[in-house]
Chain A
Amino acid sequence: MCGAPPAGLSLEGIDVSKETVIQGVVILDGQPVPSAYVRLLDGSGEFTAEVVSSASGQFRFFARPGDWTLRALSSKGTGEVRVHAQQGTPVETEVAISH
């Protein structure tokens, strides 16, 4: 899960050593989903942040080390994935949505 794949958002300009990055892409049937609302929920399920996926379905959060849930909401469906984040090692993940 760790280590940026070729499709990951560029980390240029971000001090990765100081940040706890969670990023990835929202997909439906293997295709990226733009304009999906991606929520970051903490270990107790509480809302922490929300972003809109880019034209290529990508999103990014600056969190803290620990367990998180990503929930994607779009007009095409919803999806959820759990991740474990660490400082200094960006998490790259996919959130698959279904109808």
Chain B
Amino acid sequence: MSRSDVLVDADWAEAHLDDPKVVFVEVDEDVSAYDKGHIRGAVRLDWKSELQDQVKRDFVDKASFEGLMSAKGISSDDTIVLYGGNNNWFAAYAYWYFKLYGHRDVRLLDGGRKKWELDSREQTEAVTPRPATSYTASGPRTDIRAFRDEVVAAIGTQNLVDVRSPDEFSGRLLAPAHLPQEQSQRAGHIPTARNIPWSKTAADDGTFRSDDALRKLYEGEGVDLSRDTIAYCRIGERSAHTWFVLHELLDLPNVKNYDGSWTEYGSLVGVPIEKDV
């Protein structure tokens, strides 16, 4: 796997806008962003109402995912190019999610919506209909998703990478600062976790740093990249961004995203927590 297999730049995207086997998919935290303008032909995916089970806290099951993809007009052999706002947090989350259900060719648009806008590239409000397909998924894979018990077992034995901001890591904030801070869970971080914010992996315009710079970043923070790694944040979207860096760009095996993340861990009874304030 090389960088170009998993990441495309805006020029590549523009050159493939009319490629029938390339499907652009926008995923945003703010699901209304798509209505204000999106890449021509792009399909909207709602990470909350479409990718989450609406009763229990979990993903939709395989049959529902197949139904969703079929209704969106996406085929199993399409190249999916994901992009979105928030520096691609939710697009990276969707990337990881597509991999979980075995989609073969998924890529991220480097810089996402932000870079596209800063470049003043074409956007449209028009929605392009796509005929329904008959999508087949596999999985769900468990080798890239961490659950709470393995996270607790990983304390002191695996790399735990907390990708939230320093203020969230230390316990001074409970959520990223664009959200209200009143939260029910405890503040702090998982013992032995290293705080390497997702933002250190990207430039201001949201594009990823070079493989060399990324490797140096983690090694410089004392992460032994030969060990197994679990990344987490608050709800698993920023850590999907870091999972993408470690597993897809740096091609490291045995990297998992803990999507339960702090909203689960910080609510568990009896687990150890470290806090700086």
Contacts and interface: CB of A to CB of B under 8 A. Distances in A.
Nearest to A64: B172
Q: Is the interface of A mostly helix, strand, loop or mixed?
A: strand
A14 B180 contact: yes
21 contacts: A14-B180, A15-B182, A18-B181, A35-B117, A42-B167, A47-B197, A47-B199, A48-B173, A48-B177, A49-B176, A50-B178, A51-B178, A52-B30, A52-B85, A62-B175, A62-B177, A62-B180, A64-B167, A73-B205, A75-B117, A75-B120
Given A40-B177, A61-B177, 15 more contacts: A19-B180, A40-B178, A46-B166, A46-B199, A48-B177, A50-B86, A60-B178, A61-B178, A62-B177, A62-B181, A63-B173, A63-B177, A64-B167, A64-B181, A73-B118
A10 interface: no
B133 interface: no
Contacts of B85: 52
B219 interface: no
Interface in B151-199: 165-167, 172-173, 175-182, 197, 199
Interface string A64-85: 1000000101110000000000
Contacts of A50: 86-87, 178
| Size category of the binding interface on chain B | 20 to 34
Contacts of A61: 177-178
Nearest to B204: A73
A97 B167 CA distance: 27
Nearest to B200: A47
Given A42-B167, A46-B197, A48-B167, A62 B120 contact: no
B38 interface: no
B199 A74 contact: no
B103 interface: no
Contacts of A51: 178
A93 B85 CA distance: 24
Interface in A1-53: 14-15, 18-20, 35, 37, 39-40, 42, 44, 46-52
Nearest to B198: A47
Contacts of B177: 40, 48-49, 61-63
